[in-house]
Amino acid sequence: MLKTISALALGLASSVAVAAGTAVTYQVDGLEYEGYYVTPAADAPLVLLIHDWDGMTAYEVKRADMLAEMGYAVFAADLFGKGIRPTEDSDKRQHTGELYQDREKMRALMNGALEAARAEGASTDSTVAMGYCFGGAAVLELARSGAPMKGFATFHGGLSTPEGQDYSNTQGKLLIMHGSADTAITLQDFATLGSELEAAGVSHEMITYGGAPHAFTVFDSDRYREDADLHSWRRFSEFLDEQLGE
């Protein structure tokens, strides 16, 4: 069971009443996907949430509900396909690897999720994309595509830029949150991205959390670091207010 971290514990207490979210089956290029949509109000600004390498699970639902309590509509996208929720690392690598090799498909799936959110009544004119691990890498792909969003945020996400790509078309500010003890995505990767963003003139903020390993926000994991999780979530909440607030 996921550890419950309340909005109050994060210093983000809210009185927003939120109806239960719903699973949403939608199609992209003729294939079925199943996301999750929750909103506190019809005109709430939208957060597009991209999942980790195990697919759209209870973790993303929990994070979506936390954001809805803060006043945001959330569409948690599915980039693997309806019913595809890999549990073995080999399967996770297969599904993420296929998308890393087909960046156009990755972009199409995120744009398809936005279309599904719009079909549910979400306003996509004011949107921030956010993602965890694999989802963070996908969010940066969306940023490089020139998607007209207010911002892009990653939690312990992949940071490398594919050959032939750059950030020259990026719209919106980037917020990159990274664990200094991450051995999968190194501080050198972090620094390289910072240099790329600076060279492209992209508005960005990059934060490291000392002692935090890869996947430091994943509840009930041996990698979970409460301090880094709470601080990164608080900064993300401020970022949303800055980018999506009136």
For the packed helices 103-119 and 89-101, what is the interaxial angle rounded to 10 degrees? 100
Task: Specify if 227 maps to a domain.
Answer: yes
Task: Specify if 13 maps to a domain.
Answer: no
Task: Specify if 11 maps to a domain.
Answer: no
Q: State the residue for tokens 């050198």.
A: 188
> What count of residues does the chain have?
246
The C-alpha atoms of residue 79 and residue 99 are separated, in whole angstroms, by 9
pLDDT at 3: 32
The number of distinct structural domains making up the chain is 1
The C-alpha atoms of residue 183 and residue 21 are separated, in whole angstroms, by 35
Task: Specify if 62 maps to a domain.
Answer: yes
Task: Specify if 7 maps to a domain.
Answer: no
pLDDT at 219: 95
CA distances from 224 to 6, 179, 233 (A): 16, 11, 13
pLDDT at 4: 34
CATH number, position 125 = 3.40.50.1820
The C-alpha atoms of residue 119 and residue 17 are separated, in whole angstroms, by 22
Task: Specify if 4 maps to a domain.
Answer: no
Rg (CA), the chain: 17
Q: The pTM is what?
A: 0.93
Tens-of-pLDDT digits for all 246 residues of the chain?
233 333 333 434 444 666 689 999 999 999 999 999 999 998 999 999 999 999 999 999 999 999 999 999 999 999 999 999 999 999 999 999 999 999 999 999 999 999 999 999 999 999 999 999 999 999 999 999 999 999 999 999 999 999 999 999 999 999 999 999 999 999 999 999 999 999 999 999 999 999 999 999 999 999 999 999 999 999 999 999 999 986
Q: Which domain holds residue 40?
A: 22-244
Task: Specify if 28 maps to a domain.
Answer: yes
